[in-house]
C-alpha cells in the first residue's frame, strides 16, 4: 500500500485489525506513562494556540475557525483532502474582500485540508487559507510574535472572530 502524504508527514494504513491490536499491546508494555506534572512552556502553549503553518493559520484557533466555516456552510469538504465553497461562502469571503472565484482559477490548489499536528484535525490551507490568513494579519486581527511562528489574537481580532464566526479567541 502506498503511504498518503500530508505536508512533511507520511501516513500508512494498517491492513488488519489483528495488527492494530498487536501494535497497541506492544506500545502499552514498551512505553512509560507520561508524567502527570508535565507542563508546557509559555512558548509551546502559544504555538499550540495559534501559529502560522507555511502561509496559513493553524493551531487551536485555525482548527476552530475551519470548523465554524464548515458549520456555517462557508466551506464544505470535497474530494480527498480538498474544500469547496459552500452555499454562503462567496458572500462571506466577499465581505472580507476575498474574491474566492478568482482564487479558484489560479494555479495553486484552491482550498485544502491541512492536518494540524497539535490538534489532529484539519485547518484551512491552499490559496483560500492563505488569503484568509493575509486578511487577518493585514486587518490587525492577528499579530506575529517575534522570533517564532506563534501568533497573538488582538482585541480587535477577538471581536471580529466573535462577530463573524462566533469563535472565542482570547489572547
The set of residues, in sequence order, having a beta carbon less than 8 Å from that of 156 and lying 6+ positions away, is 139, 140, 141
Across residues 9-27, what is the average pLDDT? 77
The grid cell for 123 is 485547518
Is the Cβ–Cβ distance between 126 and 51 less than 8 Å? no
User: What is the pLDDT, as a whole number, of residue 43?
Assistant: 65
CB 125 within 8 A of CB 54: yes
Per-chain mean pLDDT for the chain = 88
CA 59 to each of CA 55, 66, 158, 171: distance values in angstroms, whole numbers, following the listed order: 13, 11, 16, 14
pLDDT for 75-120, tens place per residue? 999 988 899 999 999 999 999 999 999 999 888 999 999 999 888 8
Question: Does the structure show a pLDDT above 60 at 20?
Answer: yes
* Predicted confidence (pLDDT) per residue in 39-83, tens digit: 667 667 888 999 999 999 999 999 999 999 999 999 999 988 899
- Dihedral (Cα; 13, 85, 136, 139), 10-degree rounding: 170
pLDDT band at 37; cut points 50, 70, 90: low
Asked if residue 56 lies in contact with residue 111, where contact means CB atoms within 8 angstroms, the answer is: no
Which pTM does this prediction carry? Answer: 0.79
More confident residue, 34 or 124: 124
Amino acid at each position: 500500500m502506498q503511504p498518503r502524504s500530508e505536508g512533511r508527514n507520511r501516513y500508512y494504513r494498517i491492513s488488519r485489525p489483528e495488527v492494530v491490536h498487536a501494535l497497541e499491546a506492544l506500545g502499552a508494555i514498551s512505553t512509560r506513562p507520561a508524567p502527570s506534572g508535565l507542563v508546557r512552556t509559555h512558548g509551546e502553549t502559544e504555538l499550540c494556540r495559534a501559529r502560522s503553518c507555511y502561509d496559513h493559520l493553524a493551531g487551536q484557533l485555525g482548527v476552530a475557525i475551519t470548523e465554524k466555516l464548515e458549520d456555517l456552510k462557508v466551506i464544505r469538504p470535497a474530494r480527498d483532502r480538498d474544500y469547496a465553497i459552500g452555499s454562503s461562502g462567496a458572500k462571506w469571503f466577499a465581505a472580507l474582500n476575498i474574491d474566492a472565484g478568482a482564487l479558484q482559477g489560479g494555479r495553486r490548489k484552491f482550498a485544502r485540508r491541512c492536518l494540524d499536528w497539535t490538534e489532529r484535525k484539519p485547518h484551512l490551507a491552499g490559496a483560500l487559507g492563505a488569503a484568509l490568513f493575509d486578511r487577518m494579519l493585514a486587518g490587525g486581527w492577528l499579530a506575529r510574535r517575534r522570533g517564532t511562528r506563534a501568533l497573538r489574537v488582538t482585541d480587535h481580532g477577538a471581536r471580529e472572530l466573535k462577530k463573524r464566526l462566533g469563535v472565542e479567541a482570547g489572547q
